[in-house]
Amino acid sequence: MTLARRTLLAAALGSLAAPRLAGAQSPERVRVILNFRQDGGTAGYLLALSRGYYREVGLEVTIDGSGGSGDAVTRTASGSYQIGTADLSTLVEFYTRNPQTAPVYVAALHDISPQAIISLAHSNISVPRDLVGKRIGQGAADATSRMFPAFCRINGIDINAMRREQVTPALRDQMLLTRQVDAVTGFDQTVFFNLKANGVNPDTIRMMRYADHGMDLPGNGVIAGRSFLAERPETVRRFLQASTRCWHEVMANPRQAAAELKRQFPLLDEQIEMERIEFIRDRLMVTPRTRENGLGFLSTERVAQSIAMVREGFELTSGVPTVEQVFDPRLLPSMDDRRLRRA
């Protein structure tokens, strides 16, 4: 499958919506905005919808893709969406500029952030200093690109010593393939499999993860609009309950999940999406911390670390939130429901 075909997904497929239950009390409508497009990386939410799990808890959910975590945070903050998925560090940075409207992070999905700088072997990029003098392709709204200045500052790199080119997500990987840029910033789970789907030998793909270079932060999770969370916390709780149930199932059977996604989104590559789910499960979701505390859990200490990292990386002197201003874990499912169901 070519990149051009894959990038038609968002425009061609639009949003998914659960139908109303005939003869029953009308479910509560909730609009959800993803941190990117619909694929294996968001399977737990997409399949919770198609399997009817949101309906079972009284929700009529609509799910849309977006241009990245920054986009998802902005649209959730505006009130056009009540719930979203986004990267925690992007949310913290957004709060420093929009404290009154910034959404709240209510559950983690990635215990380890997928933010990375991806290149091919010919570019000879393996450590941060190798970026000097290189051309870097970046998006405008994705979490990795927004946090790149912080990555550079923390690793002692002059951000002006490289050439950064802003590109759309649709063109980013193509520019790397055609050597128009030496590296791109993005989620490893996304760029790696995009490249593989386009015939790139995985052994030639180089991924320099932020987590391995001074930024060991949690990644994507569920965010809720600030006023929506205050007014309808039980709705958020039910959304997390149904989503957690489905993520357990997706992690246990990636092949089945990928097959269901393929039926909903025919342009997806079933094998690639199965591998993507396994990659996310094994590298980002199942960790010693989640084995101990279950899916969705995030300690206040790690949130505080994330806030400190954003403050240091962006050299912020004011407007930095407290943990309580950006994080509310009270609506997580019980430990019995969160506990991982695989070794």
Fold of 3-112+218-338: D-Maltodextrin-Binding Protein; domain 2 (3.40.190)
Distance CA(73)–CA(226), nearest Å, equals 11
Distance CA(248)–CA(43), nearest Å, equals 11
Q: Is the predicted pLDDT of residue 161 greater than 50, yes or no?
A: yes
What pLDDT is attached to residue 341?
84
Q: Is the predicted pLDDT of residue 328 greater than 50, yes or no?
A: yes
Q: Is the predicted pLDDT of residue 16 greater than 80, yes or no?
A: no
Q: Which of 107-116, 124-133, 168-177, 183-192 has the lowest mean pLDDT?
A: 168-177
Encoded tokens for 149: 């200045």
Per-residue 3-state assignment (H helix, E strand, C coil) for the chain: CCHHHHCCHHHHHCCEECCCCCCCCCCEEEEEECCCCCCHHHHHHHHHHHCCHHHHCCEEEEEECCCCHHHHHHHHHHCCCCEEEEEHHHHHHHHHHCCCCCCEEEEECCCCCCEEEEEEHHHCCCCHHHHCCCEEEECCCCHHHHCHHHHHHHCCCCHHHCEEEECCHHHHHHHHHCCCCCEEEEEHHHHHHHHHHCCCCHHHEEEEEHHHCCCCCCCEEEEECHHHHHHCHHHHHHHHHHHHHHHHHHHHCHHHHHHHHHHHCCCCCHHHHHHHHHHHHHHHHCCHHHHHHCCCCCCHHHHHHHHHHHHHHCCCCCCCCCHHHHECCCCCCCHHHHCCCCC
With a CB cutoff of 8 Å and minimum separation 6, the contacts of 304 are 323
Taking all residues of the chain, what is their mean pLDDT, rounded to a whole number? 90
- Summarised one tens digit per residue, pLDDT across range 253-283 is 999 999 999 999 999 999 999 999 999 999 9
Backbone angles phi, psi at 94, to 5 degrees: -65, -40
- Summarised one tens digit per residue, pLDDT across range 49-90 is 999 999 999 999 999 999 888 999 999 999 999 999 999 989
What pLDDT is attached to residue 12?
37
- Summarised one tens digit per residue, pLDDT across range 81-127 is 999 999 998 999 999 999 999 999 999 999 999 999 999 999 999 99
Average pLDDT over residues 318-335: 96
What pLDDT is attached to residue 325?
97
What pLDDT is attached to residue 24?
53
Yes or no: domain 115-212 corresponds to CATH 3.40.605.10: no
Q: Domain segments of the chain: what residues? A: 3-112+218-338, 115-212
CATH topology agreement for domains 3-112+218-338 and 115-212: yes
Average pLDDT over residues 217-230: 96
Q: Is the predicted pLDDT of residue 143 greater than 90, yes or no?
A: no
- Of the chain, the percentage scoring pLDDT greater than 70 comes to 92
Nearest CA to 172 among 141, 147, 150? 141
Band of the pLDDT at 342, cuts 50, 70, 90?
low
